Chains A and B, each alone.
Chain A
Amino acid sequence: MDGPHDLGGRHGFGSINPEYDEPVFHADWERSVLTMFPAMAGAGAFNLDKFRFGMEQIPAVEYLSSTYYEHWMHAMIQWGTEAGIFDPEDLERRTQHYLDHPDEAAPKAANADLTEALKQLLPTGMDCRRESDAEPRFSVGDRVRVLDHVSTTHTRRAGYVRGRVGEVVAAHGTYVYPDSNAVGLGEDPHHLYTVRFTARELWGDEPGARNAVNNIDLWEPYLEAT
């Protein structure tokens, strides 16, 4: 979808302003939200692609003015509500309770099964490569154009490469296809490629992109031969 998240090449965001000696967490609640990701994914509320699709549905003004972990909270509440984990009225009532009692902590309880699962998950992760018999349509060196029709749901076909011509520089094999996996259509593996565009093809003669190339990973259904 053409949401506020699709930021590559947009003007108007000002300087980067890195924070010197930035801490890993800026508030205690960020620790909880981080852990809610594997916990709620494990409970079946979302997969990685559906989670991203949730964040992309944040209204644009809110998306651009809220923090990373607030984006996570939005997707967690959206999909947690859909999965029957959260009831919006109950969540609102409890939020008001903690606003009225700011010194009260959330209830503490151990979850040995989740902790054990995390000890397995964090050092290994969740591989998204899937074996498939499908023959790749493209190979390294091929010129390809990114299809420029618009998706109204989740896609990794970034706006700045749509309609542009690049060269396949790596063919990676078959991976979970986010466009399907985000909307309940299964993993639907497709071939994944790294495609290289000259900055001139994308941005013309802008001085910040002199002698530059842009590489981006694109799934086969995004591409056509030129």
Chain B
Amino acid sequence: MSLHHDHSTISADDRIAARVKAMEAILVEKGIIGTDAIDYMSSVYENEVGPQLGAKIVARAWVDPDFRQRLLVDATEACKEMGVSGMQGEEMIALEDTDTVHNMVVCTLCSCYPWPVLGLPPNWYKYPAYRARTARDPRGVMAEFGLELPESVEIRVWDSSAELRYWVLPQRPAGTEGWSEEQLAELVTRDSLIGVAGVASPKAA
């Protein structure tokens, strides 16, 4: 058996992992990166900044009409009131769904996504099928996620081609009258802020 691994038995993932270690070793030696920085940044997006923050904001907007108004006028400032801000969301715009308008967010040119309210994007958001089809076949894409809206509802697709980050303020579902903010936040999903799903009524769940 050769001392070197047979290349044909090395998986693509092994190759990538080895290349990243090589990059990391050089960057560590040059003082450009540190293990503590990697642990810090990855833990922020794994444990702190994720869709639960967007859900809190949506729930607040559902129970507090003044907050809802501030959110629709200036989402960046309204989110700051709730301690939500940051990289890849320096300026955010909340898109209001109504009985007659449904919004959907995409980045056709790369994978821009509102990190402060949703964390890091899921793979499907970054891959070619979603980026290609959402611009042209939004109803078909929504249907794949289980959302079929009547033709009378206007679909507004938002392509995040600049440094403004868009996300959807979905409609509050029926059957939640009198619910607390915390209960409502539990209903709100990542997909509803992207616009590929609505928020399901608890009766239907």
Binding site for B on A (CB under 8 A): 5-19, 22, 24-29, 31-36, 38-40, 42-43, 48, 52, 55, 64, 67-68, 70, 73, 76-77, 80, 85-86, 90-91, 94-100, 102, 104-112, 114-115, 118-119, 121-129, 156, 158, 160, 172, 175-176, 192, 194, 199, 202-203, 206-219
Count residues on chain B whose CB falls below 8 Å from chain A CBs: 87
A213 to chain B, nearest CB (A): 5
A10 contact set on B, CB distance < 8 A = 128, 132
- Asked whether B108 lies within 8 Å of A158 as measured between CB atoms, the reply is yes
Name the distance in Å between A181's Cβ and chain B's nearest Cβ: 11
Interface of A is mostly: mixed
> In the complex, A19→B5 CA distance in Å?
32
For residue B162, CB closer than 8 A to chain A, the reply is yes
Partner of B35, one of A24, A102, A109: A109
Is B36 in contact with A106, judged by CB distance below 8 angstroms? Answer: no
How long is the Cα–Cα vector from A125 to B15 in the complex, in angstroms?
32
Q: Which residues of B contact A18 (CB under 8 A)?
A: 122, 124, 145
Is B163 among interface residues, defined by CB-CB distance under 8 A? Answer: yes
A158 & B109 in contact (Cβ 8 Å cutoff): yes
Q: A68-B111, A125-B88, A175-B163 known; A35 and B33 CB under 8 Å? A: yes
Chain A residue nearest to B136 in the complex (CB) = A9
A108 & B155 in contact (Cβ 8 Å cutoff)? no
Q: For the complex, give the distance between the alpha carbons of A196 and B25 in Å.
A: 47
CA distance A111 to B31 in the complex (A): 7
Measured CB to CB, the closest approach of chain A to B92, in angstroms, equals: 10
Chain A residues with CB below 8 A from B20, complex form: 29, 32-33, 73, 106
Q: Which residues on the A side are within 8 Å of B96 (C-beta)?
A: none
Residues of the A chain whose Cβ atoms lie less than 8 Å from the Cβ of B88: 125
Task: Report the minimum CB–CB distance from A100 to chain B (whole Å).
Answer: 6
Distance, CA A7 to CA B108, complexed state (A): 6
Q: Is B153 among interface residues, defined by CB-CB distance under 8 A?
A: yes
- CB contacts (< 8 Å) of B24 on chain A: these are 32, 36, 106-107
Query: Min CB distance, B116 to chain A, in Å?
Result: 8
Nearest-CB distance from B184 to chain A (Å)?
A: 22
Which B residues are in CB contact (< 8 Å) with A68? Answer: 111, 123, 126-127
A95 and B120: CB pair below 8 A? no
Complex: A33 Cα to B152 Cα, angstroms: 44
B42 partner residues in chain A, CB cutoff 8 A: 25, 31, 34-35
Q: Point out the residues of chain A lying under 8 angstroms from B123, CB to CB.
A: 19, 22, 26, 67-68
The reply to whether B27 and A34 form a contact with Cβ atoms under 8 Å apart is no
Q: Which of B27, B33, B39, B122 has the most CB of A within 10 A?
A: B27
Stretch at the interface among B44-52, B58-66, B171-179: B44-52
Task: Tell me, in angstroms, the Cα distance from A42 to B33 when the chains sit together.
Answer: 10
